[in-house]
Amino acid sequence: MCSAKTFPANLLKMKNNIAERLLKIKAGIPQGVQLVAVSKFHPAEAIKEAYDAGQRIFGESRAQELKQKFEVLPSDIQWHFIGHLQTNKVRMLLPMVSLFHSVDSLHLMEVIDAEAKRIGSVANILLQVHVAREETKFGFSPDEIIEAIDTPQIKNMTNISVRGIMGMASNTDHIPTVEAEFKQLAHIFHDIKSKDIFPEFNILSMGMSQDYQLAIQCGSNMVRIGTDIFGNREY
Ligand SMILES: *Cc1c(COP(=O)(O)O)cnc(C)c1O
């Protein structure tokens, strides 16, 4: 026998949970801090629940998955791309994505700029900076990013708006480590901002489910929260 009898009750419970968790998190986030609801690996129905509770910014990490959700969900959703970005996905993603969080090379910037020129748009991007101890994470190192923004090519990228930086702290319970990394990211953010190279440079994207409160204390104004809203992901 199938479990049709219990299924609707479970679904209802899950639905309420998403809206409830979302609203609770939002209530605890100061004004001026934007919430990106990270919906990767969760179905369109889950996103719709958060949408109906008022959420409009969603983060996805895979190009094809974002496209499928984009096609079935309301058009006033702002899609943020937070996963590792490959140059061959830029053309497909550009018309759908309002902010790219994970731009990690000059070459990728050039590709985005060229594609945005081609379709007559301006792409909003964050430069991903790697400060965590994990070696697998992508991004510019703190030295590389300062070097990169000083290169002459940057000035010719007229179809990119560099809006800020994105970073992740180490995946550890050791709070002083996480705090030091967030402080380092905040320092890099203010350093670049003070150089006045990018007119719209005002986003510091840092903080996930397990560390967003600390990130906000360290100056984050955009947090990316998945698990605490949608529950665990099944990969
Ligand atoms: C998956 C992901 C998140 C969300 O992580 P949670 O721990 O589920 O909140 C945030 N940022 C990036 C870059 C991610 O890949």
Question: How far is Cα 127 from Cα 140, in angstroms, rounded to an integer?
Answer: 8
Ranges of residues in the chain with a pLDDT under 70 are 1-16, 136-137
Distances (CA, A) of 9 to 13, 22, 48, 59, 161: 6, 20, 18, 28, 46
131 CB near ligand 1 (under 6 Å): no
Mutate which of 208, 223, 228 to test ligand 1's pocket (most atoms within 8 Å of Cβ)?
Answer: 208
Q: Are 42 and 21 in contact (CB under 8 A)?
A: no
What the block records as the tokens of 61 is 């990490």
Give the span between the Cα atoms of 125 and 226, in whole angstroms: 21
Ligand 1, atom 11, residue with closest C-alpha: 224
Q: Which atom of ligand 1 is nearest to the CA of 166?
A: 13
Query: What is the C-alpha to C-alpha distance for residues 62 and 74, in angstroms, rounded to an integer?
Result: 19
Pairing mode, if any, of strands 203-205 and 160-168? parallel
Confidence at residue 179, expressed as pLDDT on a 0 to 100 scale:
98
User: Does the beta carbon of 223 lie inside 6 Å of ligand 1?
Assistant: no
Predicted pLDDT at 135: 73
The type of residue at 125 is: I
103 CA distance to ligand 1 middle (Å): 16
- List the end-to-end C-alpha distance of the chain, in Å, as a whole number: 27
Q: How many CB atoms lie within 10 A of CB 127?
A: 30
Ligand 1 centroid – CA 95 distance (Å): 23
235: three-class secondary structure by DSSP: coil
Other C-beta atoms within 10 Å of 205: how many? 28
